[in-house]
Amino acid sequence: MQFRKILIANRGEIAVRVARTCREMGISTVAIYSDADRAALHVRTCDEAVRVGPPPSRESYLVIENVIAAARTSRADAIHPGYGFLSENPGFARACAEAKIAFIGPPPEAMEEMGEKTRARRKASEAGVPIVPGMKEPIPEGQEAAAKEYAQRVGYPIMIKAAAGGGGKGMRLVESPKDFDAALTTAQREALSAFGDGRVYLEKAISRPRHVEIQIFADRSGTCLWLGERECSVQRRHQKVIEETPSAVVTPQLRAQMGEVACKAALAVGYVGAGTCEFLVDGNTRSFYFLEMNTRLQVEHPITEWCTGLDLVRWQIEVAQGARLPWSQEDVLRNLRGHAIEARLYAEDPARNFMPSPGTIGELRLSAGPFVRNDCGVESGSEVPRYYDPMIGKLAVWAGSREAAVARRKRALSETVVKGITTNTGYLRRILDLEEFRRGDYDTGLLANAKDRLLPAVGKEGELTPDQELAISAAAIFQLERDERVALQGAPSTNGSATSAWATAGRMEALRRGR
């Protein structure tokens, strides 16, 4: 089957990126949008656009019935989910099938097997993939004391992790027994809020861990390829900030071993399409352990595209149309080349505890030049809403060596200008200047350990104390929830946009400074 029209069930930079590949393939595109995104770049990039919800909130993109209705109304043949939102929801994939609309992603059964972390660990172990020592099942309700005893037997430090999600939500590192109870309660509460499932499980914490993931791709004939690795250890609170490929810690032999076991894990669940197997690599022994599988395209896929010369979205579409993968594993190895680095550009203020910085972008100037790629969902004049993740784009570069790629990455960041909102560009430049990063000798604790070198010292004029940050955050959250309740009730807000959460926070800060 050849798709004529694809609905992109996402927003921002990934929707723009998918639309561009569709245009090259001669496929029409349909955007969906909330009221907050009515004038967004992804809406204007696509050939058509359908409104999917009245509240200007994140939930507008999560109502399966509305997304399916938009696909039917626009007569789309297929839906590309991007990442986040509905991309790893097996119920959405089944709803697409019931509506006779192709879902560009893995079968729902594979999502279910790999979406729940303890189940994924079991499947990986059965396939012969090494896993981090830990629980085979989530902690049963009322068995917190038994879980604490288990942690004592395994040995601290221990990781508490959400069973039903990823992205660092519901995850806590526990260094000693005295911290266990509070960390467990916090992780359960955060997991419930993020995923609607408060179950967690325990894993042994790895010494000097490096977070390395393998990009895999499978077709319906049972062929599965690995497309190299990505080093994702530059993280803040378990959220990736900078990624690179290849990893400085991965040898050709280790790369092949990780690639082979990643394909085993994927084939064990009948996987089809693009996916990523994530591993922890012990910084001392170089042993590697399966963490989880992301059953979708990853945010950091551009650096894999740089080093392979592939368009992974095109492959996703072609495989969903029934095509076989055009490359062999030998082709992959023959085409892997150079070094690529990606940095995530966020509308946030690192000096204010990384608080989101929504607002109107007065001017946006992105770097250009040889081997520089900008995947952005905004432009000059774009509004960055407060309802969504504050990432506004990714800046990726390629060069023949790591040293040259780091230099190019620094040059590209220095040429990136965003006016009207606060971004993390300066923070990203300082990361690249860290001696540990330049040497390639770092682990997932890099940003936490280098905090004093990356962020201004607390207490300087114009900065907030932790108590002040808390007060402003609390006021912002209160106002945000109030605005959304009013919107859901269908009544206009009595205060209007002037008293939005972020305006409230701004006024509080101005009062603090005596202005």
Active site residues: 296
DSSP symbols for 425-485: HHHHHHHHT-HHHHHT---TTHHHHTHHHHSPPTTSTT---HHHHHHHHHHHHHHHHHHHH
CA distance from start to end of the chain: 64
Per the CB < 8 A criterion, the answer to whether 278 and 294 are in contact is yes
Per the CB < 8 A criterion, the answer to whether 305 and 311 are in contact is yes
Residue with tokens 């192709």: 102
Per the CB < 8 A criterion, the answer to whether 339 and 245 are in contact is yes
Determine how β-strand 209-218 pairs with β-strand 273-282: antiparallel
The strand pairing partners of 277, in sequence order, are 214, 293
Read off the amino acid at residue 441: D
CB contact burial 135-170 (16+ within 10 A = b; e otherwise): beebbeeeeeeebbebbeebeeebbbbbbbbbbbbb
Q: Which of 30, 105, 33 is nearest to 71 (CA)?
A: 30
Helices (H) and strands (E) in the chain — how many of each?
Answer: 19, 22
* Main-chain dihedrals φ then ψ at residue 37, nearest 5 degrees: -110, 15
Query: Cis link prior to 157 (omega < 30° from 0)?
Result: yes
The beta strands (E) that lie in 70-191 are given as 78-80, 102-103, 158-162, 172-174
Per the CB < 8 A criterion, the answer to whether 304 and 143 are in contact is no
Q: Which residues contact 31 (CB under 8 A, 6 or more apart)?
A: 8, 15, 19, 42, 43, 45, 46, 48, 49, 50
Coil, helix or strand for 1? coil
Instruction: Provide the greatest CA pair distance for the chain.
Output: 68
